[in-house]
């Protein structure tokens, strides 16, 4: 009868020393409670005795990987001479560890994790739709005594988006008059792999391929560290008012509110003008009062 993975996990845990709490989303937590593996690094065997134990195919036991948020990643772990031992993937955060896979089975309720095995010896942990919380250390462990581990540090990059006006000034609100030209620039940085998939939207309408209104153009240039996309809307009308959003597919986005005016002065500008006048009047009063004091001193 084949030994099921849960029973195998119990037998494996009986050979290691309890030092901390093993965290896990599933029922396996009860079986692995108070167990923490303290793995050692292992590459190619060096002695006759070591030639019978498993070892990692990689020449290093710690690698760093940088991936953009929203992408998928396969973490590779190649083990030679596994024999009757078992490979596990765990996530480490200090002294706390979370079991992700044991053998060919995934032990996490997070459906984004998947265990893939590629002949002859590659045990891959796939993580889909990466988010910022996925950053950290992942260990591929082999159930030798003591266990050996191959560590991967995963870094997640979040793109930065900024919308500016035609002068290059970042804006969140922008005023135009009817008949003028709306020009907005979207700068995207912190992108490991720049792409053309930059989308402009007016409210819920995609502008990149809009042909119903006319007078709309989108030009995107790939830069060394990101991209720049320019939106131009000719002959602005009242109906062109609203929220304009620049997005990098569905990964990240930023927006600006456009106000198209029919000759009237916006309240925000009026308030700004009255505030400036008030400050000038106050300054005039202070200077006049100082002159009077100086004259009678």
How far apart, in whole angstroms, are the C-alpha atoms of residue 70 and residue 143? 32
State residue 226's pLDDT score.
86
Phi-psi region of 294 (alpha: psi -120 to 50; beta: other; left: phi over 0): alpha
- pLDDT (tens digit, 9 = 90+) per residue, 50-89? 567 899 987 766 799 999 898 999 999 999 999 999 999 9
- Kindly state the average pLDDT of the residues 242-270: 84
Strand pairing category for 173-177 and 160-164: unpaired
pLDDT band with cut points at 50, 70 and 90 for residue 154: very high
Report CA torsion sign: 217, 196, 255, 211: positive
How far apart, in whole angstroms, are the C-alpha atoms of residue 98 and residue 92? 7
How far apart, in Å, are the Cα atoms of 40 and each of 96, 151, 255?
17, 11, 49
How far apart, in whole angstroms, are the C-alpha atoms of residue 206 and residue 91? 40
How far apart, in whole angstroms, are the C-alpha atoms of residue 134 and residue 126? 12
> Which of 187 and 276 is assigned the larger pLDDT?
187
pLDDT band with cut points at 50, 70 and 90 for residue 194: low
State residue 268's pLDDT score.
52
**220 contact partners, CB below 8 Å, separation of at least 6:** 196, 198, 227, 228, 229, 230
pLDDT band with cut points at 50, 70 and 90 for residue 99: very high
Give strand pairing partners of 68: 157
How far apart, in whole angstroms, are the C-alpha atoms of residue 239 and residue 216? 14
pLDDT band with cut points at 50, 70 and 90 for residue 39: low
Residue 32 is encoded by which pair of tokens? 């692995």
- Residue with tokens 């009026």, as numbered in its chain: 270
How far apart, in whole angstroms, are the C-alpha atoms of residue 145 and residue 12? 10
Residue 88 is encoded by which pair of tokens? 């596990």
Q: Which CATH architecture has domain 160-261?
A: Sandwich (2.60)
Report CA torsion sign: 278, 284, 285, 290: positive
Helices assigned H by DSSP within the chain: 5-13, 28-31, 267-295
SS3 122: strand
Locate the domains of the chain by residue range.
5-157, 160-261
Q: What is the mean pLDDT of the chain?
A: 79
How would you label 267-295 residue by residue, b for 16+ Cβ within 10 Å and e otherwise?
eeeeeeeeeeeeeeeeeeeeeeeeeeeee
How far apart, in whole angstroms, are the C-alpha atoms of residue 201 and residue 225? 23
Residue 142 is encoded by which pair of tokens? 């082999």
- pLDDT (tens digit, 9 = 90+) per residue, 163-178? 999 999 999 999 999 9
Residue 206 is encoded by which pair of tokens? 């995609």
pTM: 0.64
pLDDT at position 189 over 70: yes
**5-157 has which CATH code?**
2.60.40.10
- Kindly state the average pLDDT of the residues 118-131: 95
């Amino acid at each position: 009868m084949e030994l099921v993975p849960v029973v195998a996990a119990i037998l494996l845990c009986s050979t290691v020393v309890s030092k901390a709490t093993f965290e896990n989303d599933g029922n396996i937590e009860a079986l692995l409670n108070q167990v923490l593996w303290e793995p050692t690094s292992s590459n190619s065997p060096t002695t006759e005795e070591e030639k019978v134990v498993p070892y990692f195919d990689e020449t290093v036991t710690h690698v760093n990987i940088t991936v953009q948020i929203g992408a998928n990643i396969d973490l590779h772990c190649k083990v030679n001479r596994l024999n009757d031992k078992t490979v596990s993937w765990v996530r480490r955060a200090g002294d706390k560890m979370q079991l992700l896979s044991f053998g060919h089975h995934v032990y996490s309720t997070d459906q984004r994790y998947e265990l893939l095995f590629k002949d002859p010896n590659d045990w891959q942990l796939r993580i889909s739709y990466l988010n910022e919380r996925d950053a950290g250390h992942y260990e591929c462990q082999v159930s030798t005594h003591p266990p050996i581990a191959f560590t991967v540090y995963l870094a997640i990059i979040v793109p930065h988006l900024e919308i500016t006006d035609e002068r290059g000034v970042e804006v969140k609100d922008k005023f135009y008059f009817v008949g003028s030209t709306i020009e907005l620039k979207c700068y995207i940085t912190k992108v490991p792999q720049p792409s053309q998939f930059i989308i402009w939207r007016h409210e819920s309408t995609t502008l990149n391929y809009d042909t119903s209104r006319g007078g709309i153009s989108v030009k995107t240039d790939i830069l060394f560290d990101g991209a720049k996309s320019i939106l131009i809307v000719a002959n602005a009308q009242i109906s062109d008012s609203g929220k304009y959003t620049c997005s990098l597919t569905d990964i990240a986005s930023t927006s600006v509110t456009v106000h198209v005016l029919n000759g009237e002065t916006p309240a925000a500008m009026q308030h700004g003008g009255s505030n400036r006048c008030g400050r000038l009047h106050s300054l005039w009063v202070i200077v006049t009062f100082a002159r009077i004091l100086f004259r009678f001193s």
